[in-house]
């Protein structure tokens, strides 16, 4: 799957009304159910971003996914690897963007937001990591973003959720990291891309269970390489745990 930018101006992995969504580059079809996986769609049903269910009626996504002229009428599909059906579909009743979010072009900061659903869903939320994932930690990114670097050759988002196994790398590998996590595939030219923004980066805790270690945000070396070919930056949920639990009312 491709966790790329929404555009060079935003250096984010979101999709706008004018630009169709795309998916993880170099990834594969999802190999198992992910009940916490969510898709954010605009009022016309177009793919916008990924998200993660963190409470029965709240999803966590990227703050830049909440901006734009079409933020009214958003809906969320939870718990299906097929973005065209299945799972639970809810309307977004409330949007809470992190108070310190900065959408400065090419330098997104505190890029997290919570969307309250208009009714709870039955799917099981994902647990947040209690500490930052260290370099070398195997992680998995997921989304329905671009599956190729040139959108002319993959103009439609994939129907099936894409996943990409990668790992956390040293902070220095990403530009303008702040308190976020940097990940990169150890050998292949594979990365998240446009349309993957807001989706989960997870690590296995065993027995088919996962914990959330990142919220896909932006390209990691936009100052050196074109989109979707370098490392990926993800917001670290452990940094925002108090804010998340405060907003959602969970402990």
170, part of any domain: yes
CA-based nearest residue to 157, from 226, 77, 96: 77
- Is residue 7 included in any domain, yes or no? no
**Domain membership flag for residue 221:** yes
The tens place of each residue's pLDDT in the chain, 251 residues long, gives 533 333 333 344 544 333 333 346 778 899 999 999 999 999 999 999 999 999 999 999 999 999 766 667 999 999 999 999 999 999 999 999 999 998 776 678 899 999 999 999 999 999 999 999 999 999 999 999 877 766 666 667 889 999 999 999 998 888 767 788 989 877 666 677 878 999 999 999 998 899 999 999 987 766 565 567 678 899 999 999 999 999 999 86
Helix (H) or strand (E) holding 242: helix 241-248
Assigned domain for 209 exists: yes
Q: Which tokens hold the place of 11?
A: 């250096």
Is 166 found in the same domain as 116? no
Q: Are residues 110 and 138 in the same domain?
A: no
- Between CA 168 and CA 247 the distance in angstroms is 28
Residue 120 shares a structural domain with residue 208: no
Q: How many distinct structural domains can be found in the chain? A: 2
Same domain (yes/no): 55, 66: yes
| Structural domain span for residue 213 | 128-235
112 domain residue, yes or no: yes
| Spatial separation of the C-alpha atoms in residues 182 and 26, rounded to whole Å | 18
Same domain (yes/no): 121, 132: no
Residue 216: phi and psi, rounded to 5, are -55, 130
Which CATH number do you get for residue 138? 2.40.10.10
**What is d(CA 129, CA 239) in angstroms, rounded to the nearest whole number?**
10
SS (H, E, C) 157-225: CCCECEEEEEEECCHHHCCCCCCCEEEECCCCCCECCCCCCCCEEEEEEECCEEEEEEEEEEECCCCCC
* 244 lies in the same domain as 175: no
């Amino acid at each position: 799957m491709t966790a790329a930018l929404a555009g060079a101006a935003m250096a984010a992995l979101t999709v706008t009304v004018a630009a169709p969504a795309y998916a993880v580059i170099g990834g594969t079809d999802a190999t198992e159910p992910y009940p916490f996986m969510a898709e954010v769609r605009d009022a016309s049903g177009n793919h916008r971003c990924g998200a993660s269910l963190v409470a029965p009626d709240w999803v966590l996504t990227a703050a830049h996914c909440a901006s734009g002229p079409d933020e009214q009428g958003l809906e969320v599909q939870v718990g299906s690897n097929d973005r065209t059906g299945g799972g639970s579909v809810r309307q977004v009743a409330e949007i809470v963007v992190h108070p310190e979010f900065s959408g400065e072009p090419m330098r997104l900061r505190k890029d997290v937001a919570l969307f309250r659903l208009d009714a709870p869903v039955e799917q099981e939320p994902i647990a947040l990591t209690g500490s930052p994932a260290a370099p070398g930690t195997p992680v998995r990114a997921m989304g329905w973003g671009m599956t190729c670097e040139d959108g002319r050759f993959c103009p439609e988002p994939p129907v099936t959720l894409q996943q990409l196994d990668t790992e956390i790398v040293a902070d220095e590998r990403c530009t303008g990291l702040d308190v976020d996590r940097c990940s990169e595939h150890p050998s292949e030219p594979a990365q998240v891309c446009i349309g993957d923004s807001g989706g989960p980066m997870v690590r296995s805790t065993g027995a088919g269970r996962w914990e959330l270690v990142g919220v896909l945000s932006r390209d990691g070396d936009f100052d050196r390489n074109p989109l979707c070919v370098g490392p990926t930056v993800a917001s670290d949920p452990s940094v925002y745990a108090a804010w998340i639990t405060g907003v959602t009312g969970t402990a």
